[in-house]
Structures are given as structure tokens and as C-alpha cells.
Amino acid sequence: MRHGKYPFVIGFLLAPVTLYVVFVIAPYAQAFYMAATNWRGLSPGQFVGFENFERLFQDDVFWKALQHHGVLLLALPLLTIAIALFLAFMLNVGGGAKQGVMVGVRGSKFYRVVFFLPQVLAVAILGVLFQAVYRADESGLINGLLGSLGVEPLGFLINPNIALWSIIGVLVWQAVGFYVVLFSAGMASIPKDIYEAAMLDGASRVGLFFRVTIPLLWDTLQVAWVYLGIMAFDAFAIVWTLSVDQGGPDGSTTVLGAEIYRNAFVFSKYGYASAMGVALFFLTLTFAALSLRVSRRESVEM
């Protein structure tokens, strides 16, 4: 049995490893090569070395998109995690102790379903839905409500000062439901005895949240932060479907994904678009590694 272990393992892994190399590693390698050429999609491109990357660092649009990713990296994880943590806490232990058992608020099972619903909507549907919600006249849902209060309509998607924040609002609205479920699963694994002991010691709900829930949920929070950071780098779909002129107005909502698409399929600059893709790859990888490193801490024993 021992001598036949390695051939069995190799045979078992051969097919999935081959598929991974063909469909994941090979496209990455091809993208890295294309980033060093001036290929325009038709004739074979010439090898230009780091010329595309030198041009990239002198491109104002690239830096503007990078700045927008910086805003997304701060706002999206912070807002989503804060809202989802609060809702998950209320759904699991917010109702206090009843007959010696910690319970959530009344109707918590129904609220879980309601909060998760936005997660099942496709991005294209979200784009169409929030175009109606954000419409700049009183026919829009929000501006209709503001108009009934005597407030002038706001140009959520046409005002460069608030367009990106309007898109961030949509991303948060969509993501919160998933992280409510994720944090609820994490809280369900925390022994109820810990909450009950803390309440017997006089801890308030705020104390339970900050002194019990967050320390015991730290590993889940770490994973959520990394996932949301990657989501911030992958905001192409919602920007392309919801924003004015796919990244406007005046580039105020553009992201790297949108510029990659524009350079590749509008301007046929596949080599330059690949250089942007390589930059995005390393930015995402660096963010994930730094986040895991900075947020690492000793696990709390339960």
C-alpha cells in the first residue's frame, strides 16, 4: 500500500493540475508576454520590453483609476464590514437572553433572507435598477423622495463629486447580505456560554460586541477584508453598466478594469491593455499579502 501511494496521488492530481495549468497559468503567462509587445490584435506584435509599463506610469488616466481604487479599498470594506457586523450581531444575539439563551431580534430569520436578496442579483440587473434609483430628475426613486421634501434633485451619476460614492453605495448594498450570512455563521460557532457569562458580569450589548464578538470573530473579519479588497479591484462590471460613459462623467468613476477593456476592445491596444492587467494583478496580490500580514494576530481560544 505504501509503495502505491505516490502513483495513486499523482494519477488523482494529474487531470486537475493539467486543467489549472492550461486554463489559469497559461493565460497569465500569455498576458505577461503580451504586456511586453505592441500587439494590436491583427498582425503579430513586436517585442518592446518595458515600454508599455513606462508609458503606463506616465498615463494620467491610469493614476486617476488607481486613485479611485484607493477610495474603494478604504470605503467598501469599512462600510460593508461595519454594517454587516452590526446586522449579524442583532440577528444572532441582539435580542438578549431569553430563558437563559442568547437570541436574535424578533423576525431574525426573515431578515436574513431579505438582507441576502441583493446578493443573488446579476450586476447587469443592478446597473439597470440603480439607473432608475439614481435618475437625476424627480422620476428617480431617491430624487422623487427628495422632491416631496422640497429638496432639489441631485445628480448622483452625473455629478463628478458624488458619482463614485453613488457607485460605492451600490457595491455596499449588494455585498452586505453575503457578509451578514458569513458573520452570522462565525457568531454561531461562538459558544453561547461566553455571551451569557459576559452578561452576568454586567456587560452591555456594546460591550458584548466589542469585547466578545469582534475578538472571537477576527479570522472571519480578516477573510472578509481581503475578499472586499479584491472586490474593490474588480469593480469593472458595475462601473461599466451604471456610470455615465462607462467611467464618467469626465473619468470620475473609471477603474483599471474599465481602462483595460477600453484600450483592448475600443482602441485595439492589446499590449498596453495587458500591461494594465499585469499591474492590476500585482496590485491585487500585494494588497492581499499585506492585509493578511498586517491583520495577523494570535487566535483566541474558545
Contact 172, 76 (CB under 8 A): yes
Spatial distance between the Cα atoms of 172 and 78, rounded to a whole number of angstroms: 10
Scanning 21-59, the segments in alpha helix (DSSP H) are: 26-34, 51-56
C-alpha cell belonging to residue 123 = 450586476
CATH number at residue 175: 1.10.3720.10
Which pTM value belongs to this model?
Answer: 0.86
29 assigned to some structural domain: no
Q: What percent of the chain has pLDDT over 70?
A: 92
35 assigned to some structural domain: no
The domain in which residue 267 lies consists of 59-294
At 206 the pLDDT is: 76
221 assigned to some structural domain: yes
212 assigned to some structural domain: yes
Contact 120, 111 (CB under 8 A): no
109 assigned to some structural domain: yes
Least confident of 191-195, 232-236, 267-271: 191-195
At 45 the pLDDT is: 75
Closest CA to 257 of 231, 285, 237: 237
Q: What is the pLDDT of residues 32-79, one digit of tens each?
A: 999 999 888 777 778 888 999 999 999 999 999 999 999 999 999 999
**Identity of the amino acid at 238:** I
Domain count, the chain: 1
Cα angle: 260, vertex 69, 233; to 5 degrees: 60
Whether the per-residue pLDDT at 2 is higher than 60: the answer is no
**Identity of the amino acid at 210:** F
pLDDT band at 296 (very low <50, low <70, confident <90, very high): confident
260 assigned to some structural domain: yes
Closest CA to 246 of 234, 261, 229, 264: 261
Contact 238, 230 (CB under 8 A): no
